[in-house]
Structure 1
Amino acid sequence: MAQIVFGMAVPHSGMLGQAPEDWLNNGDRDRNNPELWYRNRTWTYEALEAERGAAFAPFLTLEERADRARRCRAALDEMAKAYKRAKVDVAIVLGKDQKEIWPGQSPSITIYTGEEVHNGPPQRPVYAPDHHVVHQAYPELATYLIRTFQEQNFDLNDLQQWPQNIWMESRQGYAPDYPVVPHAYSFVYHQIMGDDVPRHVPVLFNLFYPPTQPSMARCIEFGRVLREAIAAWPEDVRVAVIASGGLSHFVNDETFDRDVMEKLASYDYEGLAAIPNGYYQSGTSEVKIYSIVMMALQHTGAKMTLVDYVPCWRTEAGTGEGMGFMYWLAE
């Protein structure tokens, strides 16, 4: 029978591929964003700065940025080593599409049932190697999961073939002759798996775009069904469940992040579900799929290992990204 032996929650921020000298360039995007989500509501940058002051200016020095970039790189390296130690045969990779392949629709939950996943240019180097690679998906397991979830009152979207990545095309000015996978997945393949990707099932959640976002409670329930479905899968394989994204962004909230990590470590599902949905918006919405990993691993007795937590700032008002690196290895 299949066994879940490893879980991971890892950020996939583009800042992880930038030199610290360039981090502040992202601040212009934040200053021009009229809807910065922070603590259950949206703010303009001016209102956010008035609320928080310039309290984060001390963290914007090049020395601070370089130190945080170093810590992130070290944490990613440790995460990759932990994944390798788990000796995984099959992976379930949880992420989302950020209007990269679906500019005109936002399915709530989708499972990819096709055979191949493509990565490579024009994805940025932090997300992909410098050449086209093809990874094998697991259509038999994916189809089985859809049927199992339907029996448990989940209505899922069946993605049978990847659409062209139009975001990459518009960003880089050309389209390759293969459909580049969204960055939430390519980051895991490249940074965690070292482009040596096992058979796997990509699962896409609409985390960003109302009104079809699954709630935290629904994601927790998804984790329960996933755990039971994998336990009933007859193949003798070691399975990893990996969530790509998070923590708080694009307004860093260190208090929120530490509270979430404490709840994850203690398997506090009720606490996570009780947080108002307005906290789980914009990039912070990716925290929802962390709960799936937690639910999938709890029965193994695994304890969460927090490799590091690194708030990475890019404006005086505290915009940026909270980088949390954590994994669960079954006992």
Structure 2
Amino acid sequence: MAKIVFGMAVPHSGMLGQKPEDWLNNGERDRKNPALWYKGRTWTYPELEAERGAAFAPFLTLEERTERAGRCRSALDKMAQAYADAKVDVAIILGKDQKEIWPDQSPSITIYTGEDVHNGPPQRDVYAPDHHVVHKAYPEFATYLINAFQNSGFDLNDLQAWPENVWMAQRQGYKPDYPVVPHAYSFVYHQIMGDNPPPHVPVLFNLFYPPTQPSMKRCIEFGRVLREAIAAWPEDVRVAVIASGGLTHFVNDEEFDRDVMGKLAAYDYEGLAAIPDTYYQSGTSEVKIYSIVMMALQPTGAQMELVDYVPCWRTEAGTGEGMGFMYWQAPEA
């Protein structure tokens, strides 16, 4: 029987691939953003600045940025080593499409049932190698999972072939002759799996765009069904469940991040579900899929290992991204 042995939640921010000298460039985008999510609602940058002042200016020095970038790099290396040590045979990778492959639609939950996954240029080098690579998914397992979810009251989208990554083609100015996978998955393949993923199932959640976003409660239920379905899969394989994204962004909220990480470590599903959905918006919405990992790993007795938490700032008013690096290792694995 299949056995869940490892779980992970890892950010996939483009800042992780930038030199610290360039971090503040992203701040210009934040200043022009008319809808920065913070404390359950949207703010303009001037409103945010009026609310928070310039409290985060001390963290914008090059010395500070360099130190935080080094911590992130060290944490990613430790995460990749923990994944390698788990010796998994199959992975479930949880992520999202950010209008990269679906600019005109937002399916709530999708499972990829095709065979091939493409990565490489024009994807940025933090997400992909400098050449085209093809990874193998796991169509049989993916189809089995869709049936299991359908039988448990979930109506899922079946993605049988990757569409063109139109966002990447527009951003980089040319279109490759293969469909580049969204960056949530590229990051895991490249940074955690060393461009050598095992047979795996990509699961895509609409975490960004109302009105079809699954709630935190629905994601928790998804985790329960996923756990039971994996346990019933007859193959003798070691399975990892990996969530790509989070924590708070594009306005850092360290208090919120630490509260969420505490609830994750305590398997506090009620606490996570009690947080208003207005707090799980914009990039912070990616926290929802962390609950799936904790639900999958809880029966193993795994305790969350927090490798590091690094708030990475890019404006005086505190825009940026909260980088949380955590994994769950089954004790008997």
What's the TM-score once normalised by structure 1's chain length? 1.00
1:311 shift after superposition: 0.1
Aligned partner of residue 231 in structure 1, secondary structure? helix
Matches within 5 A, 1:24-35: 24-35=24-35
After superposition, what is the alpha-carbon deviation per residue over 1:50-94, rounded to whole angstroms, capped at 9, x for unaligned? 000000000000000000000000000000000000000000000
Report the equivalent of 1:23.
23
Whole-Å separation in 2 of the counterparts to 1:310 and 1:213: 27
1:210 shift after superposition: 0.2
Report the equivalent of 1:225.
225
Report the equivalent of 1:274.
274
After superposition, what is the alpha-carbon deviation per residue over 1:287-309, rounded to whole angstroms, capped at 9, x for unaligned? 00000000000000000000000
Aligned partner of residue 251 in structure 2, secondary structure? coil
1:4 shift after superposition: 0.4
1:171 aligns with 2:171: yes
Matches within 5 A, 1:29-178: 29-178=29-178
1:258 shift after superposition: 0.1
Whole-Å separation in 1 of the counterparts to 2:281 and 2:171: 24
- Among the aligned pairs, what percent are the same residue? 85
Give the aligned CA root-mean-square deviation in angstroms.
0.3
1:310 shift after superposition: 0.1
Which amino acid is the alignment partner of residue 247 of structure 1? Answer: L
1:232 shift after superposition: 0.1
Aligned pair count reads 331
Whole-Å separation in 2 of the counterparts to 1:129 and 1:46: 39
Report the equivalent of 2:235.
235
1:46 shift after superposition: 0.3
1:329 shift after superposition: 0.2
Aligned partner of residue 180 in structure 1, secondary structure? coil
1:120 shift after superposition: 0.3
1:306 aligns with 2:306: yes
Whole-Å separation in 2 of the counterparts to 1:229 and 1:275: 28
Whole-Å separation in 2 of the counterparts to 1:175 and 1:41: 36
1:197 shift after superposition: 0.7
Which amino acid is the alignment partner of residue 215 of structure 2? Answer: S
Moved segments of 4+, more than 4 Å = none
Matches within 5 A, 1:251-270: 251-270=251-270
1:268 shift after superposition: 0.1
Which amino acid is the alignment partner of residue 58 of structure 1? Answer: P
Whole-Å separation in 1 of the counterparts to 2:158 and 2:235: 23
Whole-Å separation in 1 of the counterparts to 2:326 and 2:281: 21
Whole-Å separation in 1 of the counterparts to 2:330 and 2:39: 34
Whole-Å separation in 2 of the counterparts to 1:95 and 1:79: 17
Whole-Å separation in 2 of the counterparts to 1:28 and 1:61: 16
After superposition, what is the alpha-carbon deviation per residue over 1:115-167, rounded to whole angstroms, capped at 9, x for unaligned? 00000000000000000000000000000000000000000000000000001
1:111 shift after superposition: 0.1
Which amino acid is the alignment partner of residue 302 of structure 2? Answer: A
Which amino acid is the alignment partner of residue 315 of structure 1? Answer: T
After superposition, what is the alpha-carbon deviation per residue over 1:266-303, rounded to whole angstroms, capped at 9, x for unaligned? 00000000000011000000000000000000000000
Aligned partner of residue 148 in structure 1, secondary structure? helix
Aligned partner of residue 250 in structure 1, secondary structure? strand
What's the TM-score once normalised by structure 2's chain length? 0.99
Whole-Å separation in 2 of the counterparts to 1:225 and 1:182: 25
Note the residue ranges of structure 1 that are not aligned, 5 or more in a row: none
